[in-house]
Structure 1
Amino acid sequence: MALPRSVTRARRRLTLPKPFAVVVLIALSLIPLIYAAALIWSNNDPVGNIGNVPAAIVNLDTGATVEESAGSSSQIQLGDDVVSALVDANGDSKEGFDWTITDADTAQAGLTHGEYLAVLTIPADFSANATSSATVEPTDAAAAQQGMLSITTNDATNYITGNMAQSLGSTLVRNLAETVSSTYLENVYLGFTTVHDSISDAADGAATLADGTTDLSTGASALADGASTLAVGAGKLSSGLSQISSATDALPTGLSSLNAGIGQAVTGATDLSTGLATLQSGTSSLADGADRALTGATQLSGGLSTLDAATPTLAAGAAQVASSLDQFVAGYDTMTDPQRAAALQQLDTAAHQVSDGAGTLNSSVAALDAGAEDLVGTASEGTGLSALAAGAADVRDGTRAASAGATSLAAGLGSLGTGFDGLTVKLTTLVSSINTAASSSGELATGAQTLESGASSAADGAHQVDDGAHTLSTGLADGVLEIPTYTDSQANQLSGVAAAPVALDAERENAVALYGAGLTPYFLSLGLWIGSLAVFFMRPALNTRLVGSRLPLWLVALRSYLPNALIAVVQATLAVLAVKFAVGIEIANLPGAFGIAILASLTFMAINQALIALLGAPGRFVGLLFVVLQLSAAGGTYPIQTAAPFFQTLHNYLPLTDAVQSFRTLIAGGTLGVGPWVWNLVVWAIGALVAIGIAAFVSRRRLNRSEILAAAPLPVAVPQVA
């Protein structure tokens, strides 16, 4: 049996989903997507957006002076380097947070009131301490300290910010440590260079000293050789001069003998002249002494022959004396004894005179010899005394006197020859001594030159030795001064500071002990919201009996809210107790935490009740959407400045944010006021109660309309059976 068409159509209407049900199904399907997308979007790149977090820089560094090398230094401003690494010349941040350069008081006030989430402080002695390992004296090694950067955060504002600030500070410290270590090592290596230069100077000085010692040794050797040669030359000169002195001492005696001989010769010649005069005057008696005259003439002829043979030798010896004296005078002028030179000059003149006289005597004797021969003549030719002898007997008496004079003359000329022989010997000795003295003077001059050269070399070597010794001493002294010495404790102190010249003092104001304590405000607020939302899965948002009564709407709304409010108080109290005693989270202001928890729970309960009262079942969906927006915009984990701009805009207007911020302050402590957030929660709660009243008004109108419709008969469709 086929069903009527109307029944079939009715069944079809019952199986087809209504449009609203489709919307609900779609919305429910989108809840995971909305949650995931919102939370991921808000936490997409918190580290990359850390540059939006407000922070302050306080640079108090006064700098430090670092010695680079001998006589030069440089000014180190590590504080400025830190600022330059974080902020550019225009004041825009380059690394890390959104930095603002300010003073210490402003920075602290901003940190306390949440205007700055971090404050980086560079102390006045930062550069001095950071470079102290390179600048401190070895005796003051204990004064070497680390340069300490201080970065301060406030856990009452945001816990994660402290971790981010510490990470940023650690990176900054590492970079600064590399810079400072580079400066330290540079100074160490420059110190090695200075030591190298000093030792190099010392080496140069040592080389100069060695060269000077060599020159000094050479000069000393040359000086010794020159002194030896000079001594030998001086000895020879002294011997030659002694011989000259002896020769010149004997010269007057020889000249006296020569003079006596010449005197005798003159006397004999005078006597001869007298005898000849007597002979001439006595020619009248020639006949009587002819025999005797012949005999005397014969003897005279023989003596004169002998004299004639001797006089050329005398003339030659005298000429030789003159020549020797010329040589002596020529060489003796170079000597330093003017008196001896004058005496020898006189001797030279006398020798020339002797030479001339001897030559004249030689000529006269030759003529006398010829005359004597003619005087003697020959008996056969009837010439001379030979011819006269026969008849000049009377001349014999006169020739006796002539014979006596000739004898005296011969004796005088003999003495003259003897004197000239002695003079020749003396002059020969004198010439030899002069030659020896001349040779010795040459050796003496050579020795003196050698001595002078050796002395000059010795003096130069001595100067080089002195300069080299001073350079060596100075270089070694400078090198020693440049090489520091450390005790074990000093070395440990300096090595520790040099290894970590910069350190970070990460200070957390109102610090919480654990990571969980930092996230407790976020999770506690979320738990209160979920707890309030869960209530309305079990309870209605409005009391239908109260809505249908004639009570004022505000009283209907309030009485509908009060049971839920009681649940909210219980939820808040239990949550705080669990956090404090079960989980063990330290809460700085426990009464305040109870108060804020109750206020937040009451507010969240009112908001969720208002949404469900106004929208019915879809209100739960809106509540879920609302909580995900609040979670994304509350800044419960990372600072809100790291979230997307959309969530930053919502941050200050949502109640969950006020609960999170309040719990942070009350758990961590501090003076960050919770008053504004309390008022925001109160405003939200009042608004939600007003919305509940509106929902009661709408529900009452719906209820009244339903009652009117229920009073009228409803058409009933009777199925028709075919």
Structure 2
Amino acid sequence: MTALRLALSELRRLTAGRMPRLAVLAIVLIPTMYASLYLWANHDPYGKLASVQAALVVEDVPADSAQSGTVHAGRDVARDLVEDGSFDWQEVGSDEAAAGVEDGTYLFALTIPRGFSTALASTADFDPAQGTLILTTNEANNYLSSTIAEQVLTKVSSSIAENVSERAASSFLLGFSTLHDQLKEAGEGAETLADGLVDAHDGAQRLSAGATELSAGEARLVEGQHALGAGLDDAATGAGTLASGADTLSDGAGELASGARQVADGNAELATVADRIAEASARANGDLDTARADIAERLAASGLDPAEQEAILASLDDLRQPLDDLDERVQTTTGQIDELADGADRVASGAGELRAGATRLSDGAGTLRDGLQTARDGNAELLAGQTDARDGAAQLADGAGTLASGLESARDGSRELADGLADGVRSIPDLSEQRRDETARTIASPIRTEDVAQASADSYGAGLAPFFLAIGAWVGGYVMFLLVRPLSNRAIAARQSPWRTALGGWLTPAALAAAQVLIMLAVVMSVVGIDVLRATQVAFFLLLVGAAFVAIVHALNAWLGPVGQLLGLVLLVLQLASAGGTFPWQTLPPTLQSIHHVLPMTYAIDGIRHLMYGANLDSLPRDIAVLAAYVVGGVAISAGAAYRRRIWRVSQIKPEIAL
């Protein structure tokens, strides 16, 4: 009898009546019911959260911000949550929210307390305080309520943090723009200051040179003031002497004028007398001429010899000569006396004028003396002031030199300041409003995630499908041996080949397993709506998975009987824990990680995932090889069990455990 005939014989036995056929149908459908019902119930739970009611309590009030104006953060968050539609948000009071979470009306409650906007506004004003959101959950209603609510809270917090960070960054960047403009103005001012300090430095140098010259001039002026003071002293003394002399001159001029007048008066009288004498002399001289003429006539009349007449006249002329000389002297003297009288009169007049001038000179000399004394006193005061001016000029020269040095340092410093401000301006971004908003958004959310999905499940159910398809295949193989006999007793009794017996015992459940996985896959795809990218390949791979799982359970039942059936359940539990169907297997304890690499469900899930999600198939040959090895190994163990059962034992006739 061939293995195929053994398998067909076992299949006929299983379908020999209506109830056995119904039992076989139930066994075939059990994996479909197990996998499809669970996946159907959890196909897209997150997509249906919009129908779950959650309480929203808004106690916040708007706040004023110096940088951002009025902030309505609490109301904005509430509006965004309602518009997002992730949950059926119900805005209620705090008491109603607490009662609703307690009695299960609401899955959780989110409270935005008073002061929330104030806290967020403080960030933009660089006086940071943390805003608080209060999450109220009750895991007595659903143990995942906290997890779901915390994810919502994390999302809301991230959104708020991004918005607040963007607002604060915008204010910060606005400060940068303002600082840029102010530094630019400061740089321009520093440039102007540097240029001005260059001019100031040049002016300070000229001032220093001028102050030095001024100091030297002031020193010379002080020396001149000293000399002037000495000269004024001498002049004042001389003016005093001049005044005294002028007084004496005035007195002498008075006396001179009085004497001169007396002399003039005497000379006038003398001139009058002299004039009368001159007139008398002139008359006398004229009378002599008349007398000579009379004598000459008388001599002629006397008849004297002309010679005698001449001799007498000559004698007369000789006598007249002294009189002529006297007349001449009298006339001359009279003229001189007249001139003397005129001169004396002029002297008298001049002496009067001299007296008046001397008087004026005396007065002027007194005034000059007083003025020179005043000038001397003023010069003394001027000298004191000029001395102070000289000292001040010296200090000015020193200060101007110091100023020039300081301005030189200031000039160099202002140039460095201007250069530094220019560098600072270049290092501070000059952002337009658009660039500032873009930069603020980037600072608030510096990372933009880009999903590069080498393979992805389109829903929560699709993510769990490989795991539950594998579990369904194992459960199907497990329950199958509640009806199917692992080995044919007739074949064993007939001494059939152990390999033929084992293969015949495996083919029937393997065929049923093929029906199980194909129906299960069809229902999951068509009824549940799970997308499978490589449906044909997944179907063939599930046939291998079903064959491998059947081979393992078949071997356990063939070798150990009811104990093997129980071990099949234990293996199911171990594989549920170690296969990595939900969380990554790397998160398992070390012992389970070791089991993970040995048990077949690991490779079944891995292969289904890669085929179902359209992923790289590099690991598929390994998965196929491992599962094929389990098929061969399972059949080999079953063959060993068939060979072993050729010798009947008491435990076979009366087993200790019967199912």
* TM bracket (short chain): 0.3 to 0.5
- If the length of structure 1 is used for normalisation, what is the TM-score? 0.40
- If the length of structure 2 is used for normalisation, what is the TM-score? 0.44
